Amino acid sequence: YAEFLEISKNRMQFAILVGKLCSMNKIENILIEKNIQPTATRLLVLKTIEEKGAPLSISDLENLLDTVDKSTIFRALTLFAEKNIIHEIDDGSGSRKYCRCTHNPSINQSTFVHFTCIKCHKTVCLNEIISPNIKIPNGYSILEQSFLIKGFCPNCQPKIHD
């Protein structure tokens, strides 16, 4: 029985290792497809963003990746944003957030809608919603636009009593 448990434990560890390798191969392929050299740091930064699945600030990443300095994280994020692997979100908090692009990368990032909860301060990408095309008066030109909705997320909704 002990031998069976040891074999089962080893198989579980092997399955976990294979899962991690597959995940890293996926991350590496994302970078290679965008003609980015997949350095260890870039792989680590993108893997962290991918795993969290929520917008992260540079400070968030710095806390999660304590072996990587802020300037290295910033350079990786800048490169990823230029190549449409991630997009930047200005949620009004004073620090930009970065999130993995899960939609058609040929679409301008600024057309997507983001939501920030005013209670828990979490920001989420509402990828399924595209902001309206805004016509501006002649003589003006748009350099950047963002569409941010603020309110209560499902977990923070105020309870309405009957």
pLDDT of residue 128: 77
pLDDT tens for 17-30 read 445 544 568 888 99
115-138 confidence digits (pLDDT tens): 889 898 888 888 778 777 788 899
pLDDT score recorded for residue 87: 85
Distance CA 128, CA 52 (A): 19
Helix (H) or strand (E) holding 6: helix 2-33
How much is the average pLDDT of 84-101? Answer: 84
Residue 141 pLDDT exceeds 70: yes
- The two tokens of residue 139 are 């003589």
Cβ pair 30, 85 in contact under 8 A: yes
In the chain the beta strands, taken as DSSP E runs, fall at: 56-57, 86-89, 97-100, 112-117, 123-130, 147-151
98 with 46: CB under 8 angstroms?
no
Residue of 135, 149, 144 whose CA lies nearest to 109 = 144
